[in-house]
Amino acid sequence: MRSRWAERIEDIQPFHVMAVLARARELEAVGEDVIHMEIGEPDFATPIPIIQAGQRALADGCTGYTPALGLFELREAIAGLYRQRHGLDIDPRRVIVTPGGSAALLLVSALLVNPGQQVVMADPSYPCNRNFLRLVEGRALMLPTSAENGWQLTPEQLQRHWNADCRAVLAASPANPTGTLMGREQLAGLASTVSRLGGELIVDEIYHGLTYGCDAVSALEVNDDIFVLNSFSKYFGMTGWRLGWLIAPEAAVAELEKLAQNLYICAPHMAQRAALAAFTEQTREICEARREAFRQRRDFLLPALRELGMHIPHVPEGAFYLYADSSGVADDSAALCRHLIETRHLAITPGLDFGEHRTRQHLRFAYTTGIDRLEQAVERLRLGLQQYAC
């Protein structure tokens, strides 16, 4: 039957971490204890005030459609978050509520990209982004990045590789899988270069709020005429509620609304009502306590991995990942991941999920579990590496 599928299906790659997760679930089903450091989903449940708001929404009958752009009350609250965090006066009418951050990127891809056009992004970067482009018959132009530049694109790279097919640049700060941020000067340089080249800038800020020892700069602080994606999944712990948002230039909103109406009608009504509780002081206190817990986990895991031979040159300032060069202990990170899940029941993401540039020499560790489990994970990793080397 494969001859009947669309050609794009062959080009869309599987999410390799999901294969690791599936094997972990199989092991757990037969009673094995697996330590999860593979998927980007923290062990914290959604904060209680949000859950309670969702329960009230269901009890109140909030189970029908909302406007395609989202509840205006929620759009106002999101605009208020930018005022509080960044001192920005964002018109709520520019805020588009989406079913997860993924839907926000799908909207932007459909809006901007014609068949055959390219969107420039860093290699390594989050894998689903390039697959969204293939879905709209576009292509990702993956530019190799390095630890020396914080695994981020530079204006010089864009200038060197830009071509007639390039339509936009997609950057992320904090980034997945590296956890690195772009500062104000970096963002300003990127934005001015993209504008000069005649492209559009899209910035993924989904891990905003989860930074350690610093605050993330929003790209909207340096250029208001860009597209910014965010989500309730990470900082607010609402992964399964499927709720995100997009800040778009005013001129793009009507067209994005048309796309939303046709692609998914609206984001879940109950989830939107629940998300209003994300902006309360009680929820903020919970989320800030969790941010401190993530910082403690990072500060434990980073030196422990380095002691085991993983090369991590910089301390990542955001998200909840460590992107480690494993070439000093293994010549193929994917093979090492298979070895660790089978022999030590330790689930880690192979670097090949995130691109092609030296990805077989890297692993992504998610510190999304408690320090007691991270201590066990480090011991399992130590034993697994000893066995792998034999």
Chain segment 128-176, per-residue pLDDT in tens: 899 999 999 999 999 999 999 999 999 999 999 999 999 999 999 999 9
Does residue 171 lie in a domain region? yes
Give the residue from 212, 229, 248, 211 showing the smallest Cα distance to 111: 248
Q: Say which CATH number the domain at 302 has.
A: 3.90.1150.10
Residues 257 and 359 in one domain: no
Q: Say which CATH number the domain at 259 has.
A: 3.40.640.10
Residues 151 and 207 in one domain: yes
Residues 142 and 236 in one domain: yes
User: Who wins on pLDDT, 1 or 153?
Assistant: 153
Residues 174 and 310 in one domain: no
Residues 268 and 290 in one domain: no
Residues 41 and 110 in one domain: no
CA distance 129 to 142: 11
Is the pLDDT at 235 greater than 80? The verdict is: yes
Please state the pTM of the whole predicted model: 0.95
pLDDT at 7: 87
Q: Which helix (H) or strand (E) holds 202?
A: strand 200-204
Residues 37 and 96 in one domain: no
Does residue 2 lie in a domain region? no
- Contact between 140 and 167 under an 8 Å Cβ cutoff? The reply is no
pLDDT at 390: 65
Does residue 50 lie in a domain region? no
Q: Which of 227, 261, 278 is the last residue of a domain?
A: 278
Rg (CA), the chain: 21
- Sign, CA torsion 89/206/9/351: positive
Q: Which helix (H) or strand (E) holds 272?
A: helix 269-275
Residues 291 and 321 in one domain: yes
With pLDDT > 90 as the criterion, what percentage of the chain qualifies?
A: 92
Tokens of 219: 């790209």
Does residue 1 lie in a domain region? no
CA distance 203 to 220: 9
Does residue 157 lie in a domain region? yes
- Contact between 201 and 195 under an 8 Å Cβ cutoff? The reply is yes
Range of the domain at 344: 7-45+283-383
User: Who wins on pLDDT, 271 or 127?
Assistant: 271
Residues 362 and 248 in one domain: no
Spell out the residues 6+ positions from residue 10 whose beta carbon is closer than 8 angstroms to its own: none
Residues 17 and 126 in one domain: no
- Tell me the β-bridge partners of 211: 318
Does residue 31 lie in a domain region? yes
Does residue 179 lie in a domain region? yes
Residues 256 and 112 in one domain: yes
Q: Which of 278, 304, 323 is the last residue of a domain?
A: 278
49 alpha carbon, distance to own chain's centre: 24
381 alpha carbon, distance to own chain's centre: 25
Average pLDDT over residues 353-376: 96
Q: Which of 256, 278, 300 is the last residue of a domain?
A: 278
Does residue 51 lie in a domain region? no
Residues 271 and 169 in one domain: yes
Structural domain count of the chain: 2
